[in-house]
């Protein structure tokens, strides 16, 4: 396969899009993690209220 300038530009563009996608995935995972921690906090608060 011959590498032309157009192919290289397209590859660079795809790598840029992949980088943006990975950043979005990491941010989503971070939000899910924070939500789970918050949910656990509320569960522990309710358990404490119920049993005391």
What single DSSP character describes residue 3? -
Size of the chain, expressed as the number of residues it contains: 52
In a domain, 42, yes or no: yes
Domain span holding position 24: 20-52
Count structural domains, the chain: 1
In a domain, 32, yes or no: yes
Q: Mean pLDDT across the stretch 1-10?
A: 85
The tokens describing 32, both together, are 């899910």
- Predicted pLDDT of residue 21: 98
- Whether the pLDDT of residue 18 is over 80: the answer is yes
The answer to the question of residue 24 being in a domain is: yes
- Model confidence at 2, pLDDT cuts 50, 70, 90, reads confident
In a domain, 31, yes or no: yes
Angle CA(51)–CA(47)–CA(35) in degrees, nearest 5?
170
Q: Is 29 contained in some domain?
A: yes
d(CA 28, CA 26): 5
Per-residue model confidence (pLDDT) at position 1: 65
28 lies in some domain? yes
């Amino acid at each position: 396969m011959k590498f032309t300038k157009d192919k290289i530009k397209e590859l660079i563009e795809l790598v840029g899009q992949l980088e943006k996608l990975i950043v979005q995935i990491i941010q989503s995972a971070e939000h899910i993690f924070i939500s789970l921690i918050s949910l656990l906090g509320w569960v522990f608060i309710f358990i404490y209220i119920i049993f005391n």
